Structure 1
Amino acid sequence: MGRWWIVLFTSLLVVAGAAGPRSVDVLASGHPHANVAKKACGRPVDPLVLIQNRWRLLGMQEGPLGCPIASGQIVGDSRSQQFEHGQIVTSPAQGSKMVVAVYQQENNVIISWGDTSAFNYDKWLVRWDKDGHEDGQQLVNSYIDRTVGFAHIQPFANGTYGAVVEGCDNGSGALGGLSGSSCKQGWTVRAEVHFVTPSYLNAKASAACPDGPELGSGPIRGRWTDLGGSLGPLGCPLLRGNDDHLQRFEHGQIVWSPQQGTNMVLAVYTERGDLVVNWGDSWPFHYDKWLISVSKDGFHLAQPEVTEQSTGGAWSTPDPGTGTYIVQVEGCDDHGASGSSCKQGWTTPISLSYAQNFSLNDQSLAALAPCTIGSAGLSKQVRTPAGRCR
């Protein structure tokens, strides 16, 4: 975990009473940033003590939230305030001291919450959306207390990300919760942040390339910029050729695949020896899971699944070995016992030649190596990322 996450979690535990009897007010006034010279904010923090204390816990104007940029707002029983890099909201239905903060920390979106006393939970669900469209959900059951917690996501594109949190208790089944979960207090009030690729990454995109085509302003250029531009892992653009849907770069390719969404792009590139796959945004389509098809030199190697985000995602494998790889992704919905449906089909494939520049990683190569042919000889099994045949 990064320094801010450790500070945040420790502070939340103190607020929840897990680290001693100090009150929230004492903690706020004794925050380690209290004696640091601070930039001036042009607008005051909301007078509600819950919002003030969470802002102080996160470092005030020198922390990731920055300064307030709007006055506090009251909507129903909730109160909220917008900051330079995020938002804090109260959510009294989940506890009289319950606060949710969503903010950008470098190239991550952080969601922190608590204190839910007098309610407490075995686990938490975090659900987020991008630009108003449902984008993903994750279970959080580590680095938490029963009344506080935090989670993070790494966006694959710029946009407005909103999040809600729900506390749940495990079922009481004899085998560890076969009766399901109960989430009695429901979802919190939504908090949001407008995520923008950090300036140090945007600066990379502006670095001049000596040769190569202009990329225009479409989805391909947008993804190249989000990934760091000419000084990012893709490097400078090369000659486009005859296909406006595909752009080659020094270290990878990006294709535009509009059949899977107006702004759907697939990027495949090498970074520090890894083969990296990055895709999205598939809106208006969204899915329960993504399949990534990976072939090497004409042989199908793997088809891992990714379930974190419903309109895009990322996957990588370390040092897969020299060869020509063909990669494409497909979004699918689960239908329980009746199987899955993948209505929009596979994206346009990318073919990428990988030159091995690092020592062999036996474990990663084993995870991608083809399994034996099935006994009927009709279909080839593939290995999962964990190395198991299926």
Structure 2
Amino acid sequence: MTRHEPGDILARRYLLLDPLARGGMSVIWRAFDQSLHRMVAVKVQCSSLQTGLGDRVRARSEARAAARFIHPDAIEIYDYGEAVTTSGEVAAFVVMPLLDGVPLAERLERGPLPWAEAAAVAMRTARVLAAGHARGLVHRDVTAENVLLTGDGLKLLDFGIAAWAGDPDDERGTPPYVAPERLAGAPTHPAVDVYALGVLLFTMIEGRTPYPETTWEQLETARRPYPPPRPPGAPHAIALLCQRCLDPEPARRPEAAEVAAALTAALSLPKRLRRGLAVAGAGVLALSLVALMELPRDAMPPGVTASPPASPVASLPSTSMPSASMPSMERSPAEGRTVRQAVDGFHATLEGSDVCGALGGDVALDLKQVLRGALVSPGQEDSLLAGLRRKLADREREGRLAPACRTQLEISLNEITAARRSP
């Protein structure tokens, strides 16, 4: 294991000052960039890189890919490097902005979070993971130590040393958050991040991890003959989602985008219904959610949308985009939805009084026009839809688009893309 002391200099540039946080895989240092004369955060991996050329090339490739991964809830990567320690080991490090925030792990030392607050943190984390997974990146170390709570919201750390989906496992990770299939040497897969997300959600709600094992050795000998636990302090729907994330079979876990969608749906309910979620018994809550899903759309409470659990986006009729103007929209259903239905869902979310209720009319109109332009431009749809996603991120950074609103809109865009590609 690599060791560093205050005063050490990495890559003849980064002067380590004092450690800010320690995790199972790394230590975050407050450091001074002697080239640009600015304070930075440097995350140094505890384990030494193997000296094989292939391993080091892969580590650099992963870091470069992560540096190109830009997301408002993922911390920016300034630099990646490898430094030889005084013991002759090779330590990989990532340089990031020095942000004013509190690690989620430190917050949890004071006790668990209210379920709605925990769900909001998990939802935003799931959204970052889903964006990374869409680019083939797997985080592998989603933990409370790697979620930073700042004045501008959360930041997910450590995408600087991620892995490509399909890469061999290299035992990077924090044991309580490690998915069971990793113990058998399964290749890296997005499902390992979803398992860790389930551990994170459980820990936020209950103030403890779902299982007691804290070391790799304890994981190797752990026996879990029973179904994964549910956090008793959460509403039934949230507890069930958490249990699904903890499923020992990776194929049975939801995707990160599904987790984000389900949590967004729960958080998008009107406050009077959310108060009911917090106090209702499991059976009553389950029946209430089923009843909501089966209500006619014109009878739904304001801001609540009816849809299957895995993709909770409304498909209300929309009259603002005549079908005759978009010949490319008539496609076969994808996941039970046509392009028309997915577009209607996008419009319904924009016009919803709860999820996007504070959205300015100029922003809503602009988003509708960009979507329409994408769907009537043969051969350019993918690039224009990608531009629309970037616009959503920009509007959120500007404070003109609520995180829950953006997530719902991105879900609709995912459905539009899937329906367009359906044969």
TM-score by length of 2: 0.26
The answer to which structure has the higher helix fraction is 2
Higher relative contact order at CA 8 Å, sep ≥6: structure 1 or structure 2?
2
The answer to which structure has the higher strand fraction is 1
TM-score by length of 1: 0.28
Greater gyration radius? 1
